[in-house]
Structure 1
Amino acid sequence: MLIDSLFTIRSREETPAGCTYVLAPDAGHAIYGAHFPGSPVTPGVCIIQTVKELAERSIGRPLFLRTVRNAKFLHVIDPRQATEVTFPLAISRPDEGGVAVSCVVTDAVSTL
């Protein structure tokens, strides 16, 4: 679990499409010592896992990540610069039992 570890939830707001979370990265987390020493960057796989965990909180049940159709990391999340990161989740249920989630992550410094 990366929520309450790598990220702390600052706020949560229900939206017509789903839910928007504002998170604070923990610059002292061990992952930043390894990725990358002296120039910390949030790993893309951690961003995807965080979106999954937030979606689980939003719908109130565990999810299994079956497919990632599109993932682009156009900017980095540097925990020394990004004190808040916004995760706006659009959640739909295209088929029975399935959940589709879309999220464009942004911070005060850049759009990811």
Structure 2
Amino acid sequence: MWIDNYFTINRKSGIENVDIYDVELNPDSEIYRGHFPGEPVSPGVCSIGMIVACASRSIGSPLEIRKISRCRFLSVISPQNRQDLRIRIELTDAILADEKQGKMYQIEASIKYKELVCLSLKGELAERPGKA
């Protein structure tokens, strides 16, 4: 999968329904070869992908985006000057939409570099069909 080489999870911690992931971007990822070589910038879709990957790990099941109600890109994420990031994931209790759709989760998430918020997101995730 494309995101496997994009970042590494160094540590996971959390309390109640909030998980915190300390992640490190891989500056040698293929993604940066086409996204501004020499001055790499993390594509927004990749940052959102990190959030979904961490949320999937939190519940132990592959998730996909169903709805993004708010997504704010507040600061550039680059492997050159912001390699070490903290991802905060808050998931609500699962709701079983129906047998075909599987469980749905409300998510609020952010990506920070030190105290600087780079991205904030609110939306809905669902278990991938056939993967429940």
**TM-score of the aligned structures, taking structure 1 as reference length:** 0.90
Match of 1:75 in 2: 75
Q: Which residue identity is paired with 1:99?
A: Y
Relative to 1, partners in 2 of residues 1:25 and 1:109: Cα closer, same or farther, differing over 3 Å? Answer: farther
2:3 touches 2:49 (CA, 8 Å); kept in 1? no
Structure 2 distance, partners of 1:65, 1:26, is 24
Q: Is the strand fraction higher in 1 or 2?
A: 2
2:106 to 96, 100, 105: 100
Unpaired runs of 5+ residues, structure 2, are 97-102, 119-132
CA deviations over 1:36-70 (Å, ceiling 9, x no partner): 11211110001111111111110011222110111
Residue 110 of structure 1: how far off its partner (Å): 3.1
Query: Is 2:97 aligned against 1:91?
Result: no
Relative to 1, partners in 2 of residues 1:78 and 1:53: Cα closer, same or farther, differing over 3 Å? Answer: same
Give the 3-state SS of the residue equivalent to 2:86 in structure 1.
Answer: strand
Residue 9 of structure 1: how far off its partner (Å): 0.7
Paired residues in the alignment total 112
1:3 touches 1:9 (CA, 8 Å); kept in 2? no
- Correspondence 1:54-65 to 2 at 5 A: 54-65=54-65
Q: Which residue identity is paired with 2:47?
A: I
Q: Which residue identity is paired with 1:100?
A: Q
Give the 3-state SS of the residue equivalent to 2:108 in structure 1.
Answer: strand
Match of 1:30 in 2: 30
Structure 1 stretches (4+) deviating beyond 6 angstroms? none
CA deviations over 1:13-54 (Å, ceiling 9, x no partner): 022232100100001111112111121111000111111111
Structure 1 distance, partners of 2:94, 2:12, is 24
Provide the identity percentage: 29
**Larger Rg over CA atoms:** 2
Q: RMSD of the alignment, in Å?
A: 1.7
Match of 2:50 in 1: 50
